[in-house]
Amino acid sequence: MAILITGGCGYIGSHTCIEMLDAGYDIVVIDNYYNSKPEALRRVKEISGKEFPFYECDIRDAEGLRKVFSAHKIEAVIHFAGLKAVGESVREPLMYYDNNVAGTVVLCQVMAEMGCKRIIFSSSATVYGTGNPSPLKEEMPTGAVTNPYGRTKFMIEGILADLCVSDPEWSAVLLRYFNPIGAHESGHIGEDPNGIPNNLMPYISQVAIGKLQKLSVFGDDYDTPDGTGVRDYIHVVDLARGHVKAVGYALEHNGVEAINLGTGVGYSVLDLVNAFKSANSVDVPYAIAPRRDGDVATCYSDPAKAAALLGWKAEKNVEDMCRDTWRWQSQNPKGYDE
């Protein structure tokens, strides 16, 4: 019996592979390398000291998926595969609906056909949209999203919920991630964004290493303690461990559950810049810039449901997140391209 990990070569997927292997699970990984490189899984094998099967396969390729499900007894699927760039989704909405939504439909069709009805899905705090106050709780209304990427997450949550209603054998855990940052403490795997990063932490670390000149802080006039945006940053290894717990839960329970994975604590942009500087004794030049379209002032989780249902809570602090990001960045200035 094995767990299939789609998109397992990516940032969160590669860290989850390690935690799943450490927890004693057999895994099978698929990825189409759209946003990742084979080197990531080579390093996962090196760190874990374990081998596992990998298939270069697109989740929209039903025939390819059938081969994987026929070759292995798959008990459950952790489904990371998807596109995640908010700005790109505004420019290329059909690409996002095709890859994320249609891809998930094909995956679920093949799963049902092959008798595997347990899925852990990578959702996002973005489904809470603009109308809810933090701390965000799972029972709050969702769907007031501000871009096509967020809409794919909202739509897929609905599709998986419908599936669980239609057939009581299905189990779907919708994990709503807050802001994953950090890297494996070995410094051998981490986030390797293409081009100029969109997200705060990879931007900070590329400024610190001198690849980028200075950070633009998007707005200092929000209604927050220092005026800059507040987010719930979570260490990617904590997040990965949340998936291990979610697999255990999905193997024991049917039906659908949405669960936040966050720390419950908010840090501002300047808090994170200062934490990074002091954890790593590096400079991070920045300048205040206009607000970025679509950003909310404050977004952090209520993590109580994850504690109650999964017995999981984040254990690493912001200093760990900053130190581990820097170890990865400084040991791999070109990411996996060495």
Which three-class secondary structure state does DSSP give residue 77?
strand
From candidates 21, 65, 82, 256, binder to ligand NAD by CB under 6 A: 82
For residues 38 and 189, is the Cβ–Cβ distance under 8 A? no
x/- contact string, 291-310, with ligand UFG (CB under 6 A)?
A: -x--x---x-----------
For residues 314 and 267, is the Cβ–Cβ distance under 8 A? no
Active-site annotation holder among 149, 233, 249, 267: 149
Tokens of 286: 């920045």
In angstroms, give the least distance from the CB of 224 to ligand UFG: 9
Residue 321 makes contact with ligand UFG by CB under 6 A? no
From candidates 203, 249, 276, 326, binder to ligand UFG by CB under 6 A: 203
Residue 157's alpha-carbon distances to 30, 96, 190, 206, 249, in angstroms, are 21, 15, 27, 34, 18
123 Ramachandran zone, left/alpha/beta (phi>0; psi -120 to 50): beta
Interface with ligand NAD in residues 26-55 (CB under 6 A): 31-36
Query: Of 14, 12, 106, 111, which Cα lies nearest the Cα of 58?
Result: 106
**Residue 33: active-site member:** no
In angstroms, give the least distance from the CB of 85 to ligand UFG: 8
Q: How many residues does the chain have?
A: 338
Residue 74 makes contact with ligand NAD by CB under 6 A? no
Alpha-carbon gap, residue 107 to 261, rounded angstroms: 24
Q: For residues 46 and 283, which CB has a smaller minimum distance to ligand UFG in the complex?
A: 283
Q: Count the helices and strands in the chain (H runs, E runs).
A: 12, 14
Partner from ligand UFG, ligand NAD, none contacting 170, C-beta within 5 to 8 A by type: none
Alpha-carbon gap, residue 287 to 330, rounded angstroms: 23
Q: For residues 269 and 318, which CB has a smaller minimum distance to ligand UFG in the complex?
A: 269
Alpha-carbon gap, residue 151 to 16, rounded angstroms: 25
From candidates 15, 84, 118, 323, binder to ligand UFG by CB under 6 A: 84
Among the residue ranges 92-100, 154-162, 210-218, 274-282, the one whose residues contact ligand UFG (CB under 6 A): 210-218
Residue 232 makes contact with ligand NAD by CB under 6 A? no
What is the largest distance, in Å, between two alpha-carbon atoms of the chain?
A: 56
From candidates 199, 254, 274, 317, binder to ligand UFG by CB under 6 A: 199
Residue 104 makes contact with ligand NAD by CB under 6 A? no
- Please report, in angstroms and rounded to a whole number, the separation of the first and last CA atoms in the chain: 36
Residue 132 makes contact with ligand UFG by CB under 6 A? no
DSSP, residue by residue, 210-234: TSSS-EEEE-S-SSSTTSS-EE-EE
Q: What are the strands of the beta sheet with 2-6, ordered from one edge?
A: 54-56, 27-31, 2-6, 74-79, 118-124, 171-177, 255-261
Alpha-carbon gap, residue 200 to 215, rounded angstroms: 9
Interface with ligand UFG in residues 222-261 (CB under 6 A): 229, 231
Partner from ligand UFG, ligand NAD, none contacting 292, C-beta within 5 to 8 A by type: ligand UFG
Partner from ligand NAD, ligand UFG, none contacting 305, C-beta within 5 to 8 A by type: none
In angstroms, give the least distance from the CB of 293 to ligand UFG: 10
x/- contact string, 115-134, with ligand NAD (CB under 6 A)?
A: -------x-x----------
Q: For residues 216 and 317, which CB has a smaller minimum distance to ligand UFG in the complex?
A: 216
Interacting residues with ligand NAD (CB under 6 A) = 6-7, 9-13, 31-36, 58-60, 80-84, 99, 103, 122, 124, 177, 180
Residues taking part in catalysis: 149
Interacting residues with ligand UFG (CB under 6 A) = 84, 86, 124-126, 150, 179, 198-200, 203, 215-218, 229, 231, 269, 292, 295, 299
